[in-house]
Structure 1
Amino acid sequence: MPDRDPLIRVTAMPADTNPYGGVFGGWLMSQMALGAGSLASRVGKGKAVVVSATDFAFPGAMAVGDELSVYCEIAATGTTSLTITAEGIARERNGEATVKVAQGTFKFVLLDENDRPREVAL
């Protein structure tokens, strides 16, 4: 397991599978977006919305019951945006074996109380 704290941790359930019985890539992307959004809101100190999601890859597979941990870090800061890389690591249900199952990049724009872009103040 990486030597860092996950932004979120969740267990894959039967409803999260695709027609072939594997965990659906869309579910993985949504969990990663939640983790990245948590970091964007915390660092940006307010409302942050996704404006793009790119560079996704699914190098491994996870099964129902496996635990997904989402790790994120800021890759770049713009005038009103934060670019965040996300990585999903699955841990087998009844053990300690882990595998990277997803990675991708999200761009968030920070918004003010009127939902207008505001500057990043780090």
Structure 2
Amino acid sequence: MVDEYKIEDHDLVSRTIAMPADTNANGDIFGGWVLSQMDLGGAVLANKLSSTGRSVTVSVDSMSFINPIHVGDLVSCYAKLIKRGNTSMKIQIQIWTYNYISKTTTHVTHGVFTYVAINDEGKSAPLIP
């Protein structure tokens, strides 16, 4: 099967290694941890696009888990702006892993998150031009 999701047009926004403390009852990395990594990665791009350098997550519009993450995998988060408004932005986020033992790269999950730029008072603020 050819993966329709490609990372060539996405920015690498974060990397970490999956650790044993983040496993679920099956021994794979807990989905909530993956969601958190995606939100953090998306915020890197959202804050870059905010005129104030600040943003908040307002929704997770879609998310699909495709493959598990294993302890020791290198977890890479990629993000791409897919829609912008005056203060809000939709960002596609993908997680890919690299397994050091098998030397394989795997598309793990993808989703679309909406962020809003905010000012110091927590009110919406414009995006950079």
**Unaligned residue ranges in structure 2 (runs of 5+):** 1-5
- Is the aligned partner of 1:7 residue 2:6? no
**So what's the TM-score if we normalise by structure 2?**
0.87
- Which residues in structure 2 correspond to 1:1-122 (within 5 Å)? 2-3=7-8, 5-45=11-51, 46-122=53-129
Q: Distance in 1 between matches of 2:50 and 2:116?
A: 9
**Unaligned residue ranges in structure 1 (runs of 5+):** none
Q: How far 1:48 moved relative to its partner?
A: 0.3
The superposition leaves residues 74-106 of structure 1 with CA deviations (integer Å, 9 ceiling, x where unpaired) of: 010012101101000011033431111111111
Q: How far 1:20 moved relative to its partner?
A: 1.1
Which contiguous aligned blocks of 4+ residues in structure 1 show a shift greater than 6 angstroms?
Answer: none
Q: How large is the RMSD of aligned CA atoms in angstroms?
A: 1.6
SS in 1 for 2:92: strand
Supply the AA of the counterpart residue of 2:75. Answer: L
Q: Distance in 1 between matches of 2:11 and 2:117?
A: 24
* Percent identity between the two aligned chains: 33
Q: Distance in 2 between matches of 1:2 and 1:97?
A: 15
Q: Distance in 2 between matches of 1:5 and 1:47?
A: 18
How many pairs are equivalent?
122
